[in-house]
Amino acid sequence: MEYRKLGDSNLEVSAITFGSWAAGGWMWGGTERNESVKAIKASYNEGVTSIDTAPIYGQGLSEEIVGEAIKGIPRDKVQILTKYGMRWDLKKGDFAFKSKNNDGQDIDVYKYSGKESIIKECENSLKRLGTDYIDLYQIHWPDVTTPIEETMEAIQDLITQGKVLYAGVCNYNENQMMEAAKTINLVSNQVPYSMVNRGIEQVVLPYSLANKKSIIAYSPLERGLLTGKINPGHVFANGDHRATNHFFTETNIIKVNAFLQEIIPLAADKGISVGQLVLRWTIDIPGITIALAGARNAEQAIQNAKAIHVKISPDQMSFINSQLDQLLID
């Protein structure tokens, strides 16, 4: 495994980090807890020491699963990255969307990052995770109803108390990052980035590189689309958000699979899966410190971790990028 420091911090994380959104089941058509625990443990055994989670993932379930999976591992051997600022149990802040929990009950999700809410969320996360500190604490989405200064002051208080080591953000643009940096030292920004979703290359990535902020790339496999296992007509499980995601229209699935056919021979020559090639491509992009990779079982987790051993030459990167330049997603 490769380990990289987040921003200008001393926190070293695994370049392939376990993403545990799907482990929580919410918006993924459910989960199998035991399989998720096994997946995290298998990932750790392959050198993946970092795990990204959030309270909203399964309304606490993902964090509980992470806590169960890391029980018995020396705390300083694993890095917990979790989040705050999405409440399903409090109608306050910026309404985000309506959803259903894993039991099929209606819930309203709000983006809220007021100081008192953050303090409560942190305490709840620490309990679910079974730890007394969080390595990286990240605001999940910007909250337009709370001044960024207030939010970051709360995180600074938690750092002073030793409950949080470092501060990060998610889904922030460069202006929001600059505003937050007036109050606290940010080490990272977690944003969507994949071969078919490269919007951050315009401004956010250059800003982060110039200011020594790490980019944590989420959905690098575009929720499974870039594994080559999704074909036109695919039927998703009830409650799986991909059923209505624009990347998964029949037209886009056909286009992406045609692109994958061009790079599959390269993966085959290396004796790897196309998904492993995609993950390696992602963390080879300058400025991308981490690629989050989710897994529903141990085998998937092991395969994701092994992507770290893939080597892509400059000529091969150029070939992949030339194929991507021809890919136009609707």
The CA-CA-CA angle for residues 125, 4, 25, to 5°, reads 35
pLDDT value of residue 25: 64
Domain containing 278 equals: 3-227+273-310
Among residues of the chain, what percentage have pLDDT more than 70?
98
* Burial of residue 320 (number of CB atoms within 10 Å: 0-12, 13-18, 19+): buried
pLDDT 10s digits, 242-273: 888 888 888 898 999 999 999 999 999 999 99
Closest C-alpha to 275, from 294, 290, 288, 249: 294
Q: What is the pLDDT of residues 2-45, one digit of tens each?
A: 999 999 999 999 999 999 987 866 665 666 888 999 999 999 99
Q: What's the whole-number mean pLDDT along residues 166-184?
A: 98
| 66 found inside a domain | yes
Give the sign of the dihedral formed by CA 23, CA 24, CA 25, CA 27. negative
236 occurs within a structural domain: no
Among the listed residues 57, 110, 137, 207, the single catalytic one is: 57
Neighbours of 328 (CB within 10 A): 8
The CB density around residue 198, as the number of other CB atoms within 10 Å, is 13
Q: Is 221 part of any domain?
A: yes
pLDDT (tens digit per residue) in 126-151? 999 999 999 999 999 999 999 999 99
What pLDDT is attached to residue 307? Answer: 97
User: Coil, helix or strand for 13?
Assistant: strand
Provide the mean pLDDT of the chain: 94
pLDDT tens per residue across span 59-98? 999 999 999 999 999 999 999 999 999 999 999 999 999 9
CATH number, position 11: 3.20.20.100
57 counts as catalytic: yes
Distance between terminal CA atoms of the chain?
A: 36
Q: Taking residues 213-231, what's their average pLDDT?
A: 92
pLDDT in tens, 198-208: 999 999 999 99
Residue 267 lies in a domain: no
Place of tokens 């889904």: 171
Residue 222 falls inside a structural domain: yes
Task: Please state, in angstroms and rounded to a whole number, the distance separating the CA atoms of residues 178 and 13.
Answer: 24
Beta bridge pairs of residue 240? 28
Q: Which residues pair with 214 in a beta bridge?
A: 188
| Residue 199 resides in a domain | yes
Helix 250-270 with 314-324: angle, nearest 10 deg: 170
Provide the percentage of residues in the chain whose pLDDT is more than 90. Answer: 82
Is the per-residue pLDDT at 159 higher than 60?
A: yes
- With respect to residue 116, please indicate whether it lies within any of the assigned structural domains: yes
The 3-state DSSP class for residue 257 equals: helix
Domain annotation covers residue 250:
no
Whose CA is closest to 301, among 269, 325, 275, 330?
A: 275
Give the pLDDT of residue 28.
57
Mean pLDDT (whole number) for 301-318: 97
What pLDDT is stored for residue 244 in this prediction?
A: 80
- DSSP codes joined into one string, 149-204: HHHHHHHHHHHHTTSEEEEEEES--HHHHHHHTTTS-EEEEEEE-BTTB-GGGTTH
The pLDDT of residue 223 = 85
Rounded-to-integer distance, Cα 139 and Cα 257, Å: 34
What is the number of structural domains in the chain? Answer: 1
The pLDDT assigned to 32 comes to 82
User: pLDDT grade, residue 231 (50/70/90)?
Assistant: confident
Q: Are 142 and 172 in contact (CB under 8 A)?
A: yes
Note the pLDDT of residue 45. Answer: 97
